[in-house]
A and B are shown apart, each in its own frame.
Chain A
């Protein structure tokens, strides 16, 4: 049976490098994704990922198994991201890396890219803490209580941040959609689903 994360942390606390390697293998994808969604910079996200595991190594001796490991790890990541992003603001926007392009039908790719870019721009304009809460809530699958623990904010503060973030995002997306529509001559295929009336809420976690 594979050792649990807390068991690996115990091994790490006594200097077992193989335990660190296992923890990196298990969690690097999720850590990278959080960092990338927040910073939108691949190099920076990789640096954050690396730094997070280095912090893990350094502080393993103080890890308390009663707190969930991922909550603890994500808290490290969140703090690193907030700090890294403040520094990266001095870097030009052209440094920011592109998101995924889907292979396949070119029209699908164009449609997707346009939507993706619009959403990414809207998220980028959110204040740091709103953006981080949003990434954790929407993409990391964390329940609200865990978002609070990871960010170190109260439940009501996180809820308030998220409601404001979603509200701002909707308005921003509508505005971007309108400006893109007029620029593109109202191409229907370039429209976002933001104006849709469907009641179906997909849970993409």
Chain B
């Protein structure tokens, strides 16, 4: 689709377009089969998704969260690094390896936009959450971050 009306179509489907814009879009659909098809798909899928009911009932998480906070090493806002046995050596080795790879990549490899975009995104997210300096995992083993995804040449490099 070359009309670049994706946003307008989506706002129409979600009911976020005013009357004048709605009318303009419908006039456009009469001329443009691609946009009309995109609208039709989105509208019907939106309707069908109304059938996806979810029982959102769950236990009150307050006690669980507060319990985790009690056992959290950063409880008093002072950052506690606990490397443990051999941890310090591993951390030092990781830093040295990362620095070496960084220099090597910077001097030997051509620029790859996708790779930098991914690492930038990871850095921005981690940093914005104040987690850029931490490698802490919760008891669930969950960690933040994007995995690199292959780019297929589509708009925005999305799948």
Contact = CB atoms under 8 A, between A and B. Distances in A.
Contact of A192 (B51, B58, B69): B51
A169 B48 contact: yes
Contact-size category for A: 35 or more
A204 B51 CA distance: 10
B93 interface: no
A187 B154 CA distance: 40
B76 interface: yes
Given A58-B130, A58-B131, A51 B10 contact: no
A20 B69 contact: yes
A178 to B, nearest CB: 14
Main DSSP-derived SS at the A contact region: helix
Interface of B: 1, 4, 6-7, 9-11, 13-16, 38, 40-56, 58-62, 64-66, 68-69, 72, 74-77, 121, 124-125, 128-131, 134, 136, 138, 140-147, 149, 154-159
Interface of A: 13-15, 17, 20-21, 24-25, 28-29, 32-33, 36-37, 42, 45-51, 53-55, 57-59, 61-62, 75-76, 79-80, 82-84, 86-87, 99-100, 102, 112, 115-116, 118-120, 123, 127, 129-130, 134, 137-139, 143-144, 152-157, 159-167, 169-171, 173, 192-196, 198, 201-205
